[in-house]
A = this chain, B = another copy of it.
Amino acid sequence: MISIIECIGMLAGMLTTFSFLPQVIKIWHTRNVSSISLLMYSLFSFGVFLWLLYGISISSLSMIIFNGITLCLSLSILYLKIVIEAGPKAQGNS
């Protein structure tokens, strides 16, 4: 039986992973990335990539899944930040 502590950990993992989805959707719809920090998503994506390597190293399936999804979402934000600011309708500072 899964303990209450493990349930808290599972819920925490789902929340911190899927919380990036509303940010991706917001940028996708508004094409506004002016207040998004390029440095934050660069460091964060590299950090999550290392968590993914760590998860693979210790054979933790939940770490691999959660960090794999988070990395996809984080790289999507980073990609949109770079592409939108490089485009003709760039909206501000980086």
A: residues with CB less than 8 A from B are: 5, 8-9, 11-23, 25-27, 30, 32-37, 39-44, 46-48, 50-51, 53-54, 57-58, 92-93
Report whether over half of chain A's contact residues are helix, strand or loop; otherwise say mixed: helix
- The contact sample of 30 A-B pairs, CB cut-off 8 A, is A5-B54, A5-B57, A5-B58, A8-B53, A8-B54, A11-B47, A11-B50, A12-B48, A12-B51, A12-B53, A12-B54, A13-B47, A14-B47, A15-B47, A16-B44, A16-B51, A19-B39, A19-B43, A19-B47, A20-B44, A21-B40, A22-B39, A22-B40, A22-B43, A23-B37, A26-B37, A30-B93, A34-B34, A34-B35, A35-B36
The 7 closest A-B pairs by CB, nearest first: A15-B47, A12-B50, A19-B43, A16-B47, A19-B44, A22-B39, A23-B37
Contacts A27-B35, A37-B26 known; A47 to B8 CB distance under 8 Å? no
